[in-house]
Amino acid sequence: MSSGGSTRAILAALLANLGIAIAKFLGFLFTGSSSMLAESVHSVADTGNQVLLLVGGKRARRTATRQHPFGFGRERFFWAFVVAIVLFTLGSGFALYEGIEKLLHPHELESAGWAIGILLVAICLEAFSFRTAIREARPLKGRSSWIRFIRRSKQPELPVVLLEDSAALVGLVIALAAVGMTIVTGNGIWDGVGTTCIGILLGIVAAVLAVEMKSLLIGEAASEDDEAAITAAIVGSDHVRELIDLRTEHIGPETILVAAKVQFDDELTMRQLADVVDALEARVRAAVPDAARIFVEPDVVRPMSAAVTEPEAPADGGH
């Protein structure tokens, strides 16, 4: 899947979150609800996060340079990691601060009808963004579960948008419940409880995102299916006697580096070997188009020697 699907999901989330942020902030001005304020900051953070993902996608498309010969594909991983940090510091941190403040100093909720109406509109807009992300991610997910997709996906944008949108929907339900309990009981402490729960939720999502993006930044191997296809392409190539070793790494969401140590037929000349390696690389790229960087090292399998190495004689004067 190309990055086009990711871009559509990001733009849908950006527009939805921008509208939601404005609506929530107006709701806070009318009601004074800390849950509404926390959700406003959450949506502002999400809007900024979509901008960061778009920036990462644009920077990742830069041409490779001498200093960065493999290109800038990992920029997308880096900016997705920054999103996790922003979500934690701006979204979760502020919500926890506001929640604890309102738990210690609860106050009466004003214009509750505005709050409920705005939250319902926000749920509809967030559901639209979430639906777009699911539709774009489904072809890439295949038969895997959504949890496995989020953990194994090499495209960082879709898991980020899916987690953000799902957290936003849960957060909106929490805010709606908090406002409802505040209206029913007349006790403003429920507003603080809702805000604190939103902060904890955002912190958990930010931690999951940080762990997954850190793994991609460090370098993850190709998927099991891609590695199996690469192995089959190499082993099935002409004049290949054995695949001694294979290492893969994603240097970008759609760019895989392949390093293989291969034993070829002994009778090949240097020119013939070069032609065989070229054909092997073509087979690998045909099997896995993302395998853009391929390095093949001809080698031979060396049997383990049964001979015991004699100990070295001591130097002159030794004991």
Q: How confident is the model at residue 228 (pLDDT cuts 50, 70, 90)?
A: very high
**Is residue 317 included in any domain, yes or no?**
no
C-alpha separations of 79 from 33, 60, 142 in Å: 32, 10, 26
pLDDT at 256 over 90: yes
Are residues 211 and 118 part of one domain?
yes
Look-up of token digits 């997954």: 212
Q: Are residues 239 and 204 in the same domain?
A: no
Is 199 in the same domain as 277? Answer: no
Same domain, 201 and 264: no
Which of the pair, 229 or 13, is modelled with greater confidence?
229
Mean pLDDT of the chain: 84
Both 272 and 163 in a single domain? no
Query: 182 lies in a domain?
Result: yes
Tell me, what CATH number does 127's domain have? 1.20.1510.10
Please check whether residue 148 lies inside any domain of the structure: yes
Both 209 and 228 in one domain: the answer is: no
Same domain, 199 and 249: no
> Average pLDDT of 49-74?
88
Q: Is there a domain that residue 95 lies in? A: yes
Q: For 129-145, b where at least 16 C-beta lie within 10 A, e where not — what string?
A: bbebbbebbeeebeeee
From the DSSP assignment, how many helices (H) and strands (E) are in the chain? 10, 3
Instruction: For 237-290, give the secondary structure using H, E and C.
Output: CCCEEEEEEEEEEEEECCEEEEEEEEEECCCCCHHHHHHHHHHHHHHHHHHCCC
pLDDT digits (tens, 9 = 90+) for 268-291: 999 999 999 999 999 999 999 999
Kindly list the distances between the CA atom of residue 204 and the CA atoms of 51, 196, 254, in Å, as whole numbers in the listed order.
22, 13, 28
Residue 2 pLDDT:
47
Task: Output the pLDDT for position 109.
Answer: 67
Out of 218, 252, 272, pick the residue that ends a domain. 218
Closest CA to 74 of 251, 247, 215, 212: 251
Domain end: 188, 218, 248, which one? Answer: 218
Task: Write out pLDDT tens, residues 119-150.
Answer: 888 888 888 888 888 888 888 888 888 888 88
pLDDT of residue 4: 57
The CATH number linked to 288 is 3.30.70.1350
- Domain membership flag for residue 312: no
Q: 89-115, pLDDT tens digit by residue?
A: 777 888 888 788 888 887 776 667 777
306 is a domain residue: no
Do 109 and 245 belong to one domain? no
Residues in the chain: 319
Phi, psi of 42 (to 5 degrees): -60, -45
Cα 49 to Cα 41: distance, rounded to the nearest angstrom: 12
Residues 140 and 37 in one domain: yes
- Domain contains 316: no
Domain count, the chain: 2
pLDDT at 5: 58
Cβ(27)–Cβ(78) under 8 Å? Answer: no
Residues 249 and 127 in one domain: no
Beta strands 240-252 and 255-264, pairing class: antiparallel
Q: Domain check: are 13 and 68 in the same one? A: yes
Show Cβ contacts of residue 238 under 8 Å, excluding neighbours closer than 6 positions: 276, 279
Residues contacting residue 165 through CB under 8 Å, at least 6 positions apart:
13, 126, 129, 130, 133
Domain residue limits at 16: 3-218
Predicted confidence at residue 265, as pLDDT, reads 94
- Does residue 315 belong to any structural domain of this protein? no
Which pLDDT score is estimated for 3? 55
- According to DSSP, the residues that pair with 294 across neighbouring strands are 258
Choosing from 218, 246, 262, the residue where a domain stops is 218
Residues 161 and 190 grouped into a single domain:
yes
What are 128's two structure tokens?
């639209």
For residue 306, what pLDDT is reported?
A: 43
